Amino acid sequence: MKNIFVSCGEVSGDIYAGDFIRELLRIDDSLNIWGMLGTEGVRAGGRAVWSYEELKLMGIIEVIPALPRLLRLMRNITREIMNVKPDAVVLIDCPDFHLFLARSLRKSGYTGKIISLIPPTVWAWRAGRVKNLKRDFDLCLPLFSFEHKFLLDRNVNSLWKAHPLVHDLEGVKVPESFTHRFPGQKVIALMPGSRRYDINYHLDILLGTAEILQAKGYLPVFSVAPGLSADLAAELRGRVSASGFELWNGEGRELMLGSLAAAGVSGTVAVEAMLLCRYMVVIYNMKRMTYALLKHLVRTKNISIPNMLTGKQVYPELLCGAATPERITQELEGYLNDDRKRKEIDARLLEARGSMGNENAARFWAKCVMRLTGGE
């Protein structure tokens, strides 16, 4: 019986892990799949020896106090993998932890296959990590075609067919419960994120945005990400409800599809918005020292994938002090009230959407991993 270790460290990674595990088990339902997982990975058939909550960290400065705990976690995982000796180790995103884990495994003598599913963004910053990918990993499975090309050009073993959201968002519709609840309303989706960091640094800004939007005749609706921990979800609901605004407890993609436009924290949600052809104002706040460091390290002028795919400013990116309720509202109305601008941006969104592939990415990943371990 084949044995596969899978590790992820955030909500989006857990979703990818769930889809990937589900497809692995379609190929071979006798697989023993275990690791550091969240609810989606477990629901798909994986066994969570550690919770993915262990890695819900953001920023450079913010990680420093957690280093002793993360090092203990890495040692424990390395020890368990060396005891079990799985056929493959699949590390999903979270490069600041997973690159070191791969190095730890190789130094400890692990000779099985190590796969980077959603490898680090070496095309954007810290290109020196390419040597880690070549040295410690047998295969990279990136999300985007431009990442795949970047890795191949640097002699990293990489395979790509499509972004997983392309298949995942097929057939998504606005639920009847949404249309019944908000009939004829000018809904604006507000997406405060899926990590405590996101909510701590952005919720007040979005609440201020909601006040302005409501005064202008729009209906701001806040998304409660399904992957939020129970305590964080309760905190978010409490603060939004106390401010008198609406909440949507279903999928964020349903909320965005039923809305005129969206504003929210940079991340996977911007890619979802692009695939749904919904305009989004992207915001991101961080500590000043973190921002200063990133400005010197990042080699791309954009942080939002839709902007990278088109090479143009499709989505406004309001970073740090620029992300104010007034500016967010201004950007939203600039799109909603200008027909020419709206048509131009919508055309660019369709262009970016066309570069995302059209296959089932999770199925492709599963086949690649099984082939690599001699299982297909």
The string of DSSP letters for 323-376 reads --HHHHHHHHHHHHT-HHHHHHHHHHHHHHHGGG-SS-HHHHHHHHHHHHTT--
Is the distance from CB of 27 to CB of 111 less than 8 angstroms?
A: no
Residues comprising the chain, all counted: 376
Q: Residue 293: is its pLDDT beyond 70? A: no
pTM of the model: 0.82
> pLDDT band at 346, cuts 50/70/90?
very high
Least confident of 125-134, 222-231, 240-249, 261-270: 222-231
> pLDDT band at 317, cuts 50/70/90?
very high
**Average confidence (pLDDT) over 311-328:** 91
Q: Residue 10: is its pLDDT beyond 90? A: no
**pLDDT tens digits along 93-148:** 999 899 999 999 999 999 999 999 999 989 877 889 999 999 999 999 999 999 99
Q: Return the pLDDT at 176.
A: 95
**Average confidence (pLDDT) over 344-367:** 93
Q: Residue 357: is its pLDDT beyond 70? A: yes
**Chain mean pLDDT for the chain:** 91
Per-residue burial over 191-201, b = 16 or more CB atoms within 10 Å of its CB, e = otherwise:
bbbbbbbbbeb
Q: Return the pLDDT at 64.
A: 74
Is the distance from CB of 249 to CB of 225 less than 8 angstroms?
A: no
Give the N- to C-terminal CA distance of the chain in Å, as an integer.
13
> pLDDT band at 287, cuts 50/70/90?
low
**Average confidence (pLDDT) over 278-297:** 67
d(CA 103, CA 113): 13
Tokens of 212: 């302005």
**pLDDT tens digits along 206-239:** 999 999 999 999 999 999 987 788 899 999 999 9
Helix locations, 137-262, DSSP H: 145-153, 164-168, 176-181, 196-215, 230-242, 252-257
Four-residue CA torsion sign, 166, 168, 171, 175: negative
Q: Return the pLDDT at 202.
A: 94
Q: Residue 303: is its pLDDT beyond 90? A: no
Q: Return the pLDDT at 89.
A: 98
> pLDDT band at 326, cuts 50/70/90?
very high
Q: Return the pLDDT at 227.
A: 72
Q: Residue 297: is its pLDDT beyond 70? A: no
Least confident of 177-191, 237-251, 305-319: 305-319
